[in-house]
Amino acid sequence: MKGNARIRNSVSTKQSVTSPPSQALEFSKNIVDGLQDGALILDTSFQVIYSNGPFTQLISEKKKGFRKSQIYGKCIFDLFSHNPENDLKTAQKCLSSKKTIIAKEVPIKNPKGKEFHIIQTQIPILNHQNNNECVGIIAIFRNVTDEVKLQQRYRKLLAREKERADELEILVQQRTKQLTDALDDVVQLSRIDPLTGLLNRRAFKEKAEPLISVLKRHKRTGALIICDLDLFKNVNDQYGHQAGDVVLIESAKALRESVRSEDVLCRCGGEEFLLLLSETKEEFLFESAERCRKKIASMPINKLVPGKKDPQTISMGCALIPHHGTTIDALVKVADKALYEAKHQGRNKVIIAKT
């Protein structure tokens, strides 16, 4: 699915044994383009051969971004690294072990001298049908600057209040409570997708897992549905990312209005949503999913995105609980295959995994 990225422990392609490494690298571009974080594709010499839009925004303060000639064909660790030698060793380890490596948060400066805090993830690009040959690396740079600044702010405030504890003990206790409440608010905000207001994937998992356990314990049925907006990348490319954001917001609203309050809905990245239907019998699952699909298709797209005539549609893959599994990962795996089939059949469809 173009524009739909789900990062595993490695990135692979289903190509013939004779497929050249360049095809595996080309396949990885679809994954990189679907990420919200800045990301690069590096060859086995760790030279940049591709970058996504968020990476442009990360290292450039100009709207036009950087010229590809500034980084393409060059070793990224010589240009954009907190510790080039250490990052190079990590990349070499990623290639040799063929495993994903997540580094700790570090400060870093872009070519303009602006400092960011990032968490770097390196993912090997493997061709499983060609002796697991490692043909490159996806380097993801997650910008956590705002989180770090927020943490530093509260640490300073807490430290300042503790210094005055001896003479202002009562005042410190009151102030500390206020700060604790504020930190609780920050934690709560970290569970919400800022664009759509839906739960993020981590919060979805925390809320969905107990519900699945209840279904299993009482031998009741439910469903997990993966919903993916069709041809969403075309909206961004043709009408701009602002228009894409509007479509995401309205789609989230439409899905929320189409399900019950006890159902759990989240945006799990890009144009993809996860939906857990609790206490839903198998014979009513298709009807419930169809209600969501029709709600999306009926959105007044020409008003939301002026100039867009074709309706926005959504494809949905459904897995049954507990028949297809009783864990989020197992259910997602089954539902993802059903979603692939929905896309293969022409999109704008609901496919329930075979029982």
**Residue 158, class by beta-carbon neighbours within 10 Å (0-12 exposed, 13-18 middle, 19+ buried)?**
middle
Say if residues 179 and 159 touch (Cβ distance below 8 Å): no
Q: Which of 63, 61, 17, 21 is nearest to 41 (CA)?
A: 21
Using the structure block, give the residue that is written with the tokens 């086995």.
Answer: 44
Give the pLDDT confidence of 91-125 residue by residue, as tens digits.
Answer: 889 888 889 988 888 887 766 677 778 888 889 98
Say if residues 320 and 355 touch (Cβ distance below 8 Å): yes
Which residue type occupies 38? Answer: G
- Phi and psi angles of residue 270, each rounded to the nearest 5 degrees, phi first: 55, -125
Would you identify the CATH topology of the domain 11-143? Beta-Lactamase (3.30.450)
Task: Report which secondary-structure segment, H or E, holds 36.
Answer: none
Rounded Cα distance between 118 and 237, Å, is 27
**Architecture of the CATH domain 201-352:** 2-Layer Sandwich (3.30)
Domain borders along the chain are: 11-143, 147-189, 201-352
Task: Report which secondary-structure segment, H or E, holds 64.
Answer: none
Please list the pLDDT of the chain residue by residue as tens digits (355 residues).
Answer: 333 333 334 444 433 333 445 677 778 888 888 888 888 999 888 888 888 888 877 776 544 455 666 778 888 877 777 788 888 888 889 888 889 988 888 887 766 677 778 888 889 988 766 777 888 899 888 888 888 778 778 878 777 777 776 666 766 666 777 777 766 666 666 789 989 999 999 999 999 999 999 999 999 999 999 999 999 999 999 999 999 999 999 999 999 999 999 999 999 989 999 999 988 888 899 999 999 999 999 999 999 999 999 999 999 999 999 999 999 999 999 999 999 999 999 999 999 998 7
Say if residues 268 and 256 touch (Cβ distance below 8 Å): no
Using the structure block, give the residue that is written with the tokens 């405030």.
Answer: 157
**Residue 61, class by beta-carbon neighbours within 10 Å (0-12 exposed, 13-18 middle, 19+ buried)?**
exposed
Rounded Cα distance between 136 and 162, Å, is 50
Task: Report which secondary-structure segment, H or E, holds 177.
Answer: helix 169-189
Rounded Cα distance between 79 and 301, Å, is 43
Rounded Cα distance between 193 and 245, Å, is 12
Sheet holding 350-352, edge to edge: 264-269, 272-277, 222-229, 314-321, 350-352
Say if residues 255 and 292 touch (Cβ distance below 8 Å): yes
Full-model pTM: 0.50
26 as an active site residue: the answer is: no
The separation between CA 41 and the C-alpha centre of its own chain, rounded to angstroms, equals 17
Phi-psi region of 140 (alpha: psi -120 to 50; beta: other; left: phi over 0): beta
CB count, 10 Å around CB of 127? Answer: 24
Give the pLDDT confidence of 207-243 residue by residue, as tens digits.
Answer: 999 999 999 999 999 999 999 999 999 999 999 999 9
Task: Report which secondary-structure segment, H or E, holds 133.
Answer: strand 133-143
Catalytic residue among 271, 283, 287, 341: 271
**Residue 294, class by beta-carbon neighbours within 10 Å (0-12 exposed, 13-18 middle, 19+ buried)?**
middle
Say if residues 248 and 239 touch (Cβ distance below 8 Å): no
Say if residues 65 and 40 touch (Cβ distance below 8 Å): no
Q: DSSP string covering 235-291, please?
A: HHHHH-HHHHHHHHHHHHHHHHHHS-TTSEEEEEETTEEEEEE-S--HHHHHHHHHH
